[in-house]
Chains A and B, each alone.
Chain A
Amino acid sequence: LAKTTQPISMDSYEGQEVNITCSHNNIATNDYITWYQQFPSQGPRFIIQGYKTKVTNEVASLFIPADRKSSTLSLPRVSLSDTAVYYCLTRDDKIIFGKGTRLHILP
Chain B
Amino acid sequence: NAGVTQTPKFQVLKTGQSMTLQCAQDMNHNSMYWYRQDPGMGLRLIYYSASEGTTDKGEVPNGYNVSRLNKREFSLRLESAAPSQTSVYFCASTLREGRTDTQYFGPGTRLTVL
- From known contacts A42-B108, A43-B92, A43-B106, infer whether A97 and B99 are also in contact, taking CB-CB under 8 Å: no
In the complex, the answer to whether B108 meets A97 with C-beta atoms within 8 Å is: no
Determine the main DSSP class of B at the interface with A.
Answer: strand
Q: Which residues of chain B (73-114) have a CB below 8 Å from chain A?
A: 90, 92, 94, 99-108
Q: Which residues of A contact B (CB under 8 A)?
A: 1, 30-32, 34, 36, 41-46, 49, 85, 87, 91, 94-100
Q: Which of A34, A49, A96 contacts B45 (CB 8 A)?
A: A96
In the complex, the answer to whether B99 meets A31 with C-beta atoms within 8 Å is: yes
Determine the main DSSP class of A at the interface with B.
Answer: loop
Minimum CB distance partner of A90 in chain B? B101
CA distance A42 to B42 in the complex (A): 12
Minimum CB distance partner of A44 in chain B? B105
Residues from chain B with a CB closer than 8 A to the CB of A30 are 99
Residues from chain A with a CB closer than 8 A to the CB of B108 are 41-43
In the complex, the answer to whether B107 meets A99 with C-beta atoms within 8 Å is: no
In the complex, the answer to whether A46 meets B42 with C-beta atoms within 8 Å is: no
Q: Which of B56, B101, B103 contacts A44 (CB 8 A)?
A: B103
The 4 closest A-B pairs by CB, nearest first: A43-B105, A97-B43, A99-B42, A43-B90
Q: Which residues of chain B (16-75) have a CB below 8 Å from chain A?
A: 33, 35, 41-45, 48, 56, 58-59
Minimum CB distance partner of A97 in chain B? B43
In the complex, the answer to whether B105 meets A97 with C-beta atoms within 8 Å is: no
- Count chain B CB atoms within 10 A of each CB in A1, A36, A46, A94 and give the residue with the most: A94
**Smallest beta-carbon distance B33→chain A, Å:** 6
Residues from chain B with a CB closer than 8 A to the CB of A36 are 103
In the complex, the answer to whether A44 meets B43 with C-beta atoms within 8 Å is: yes
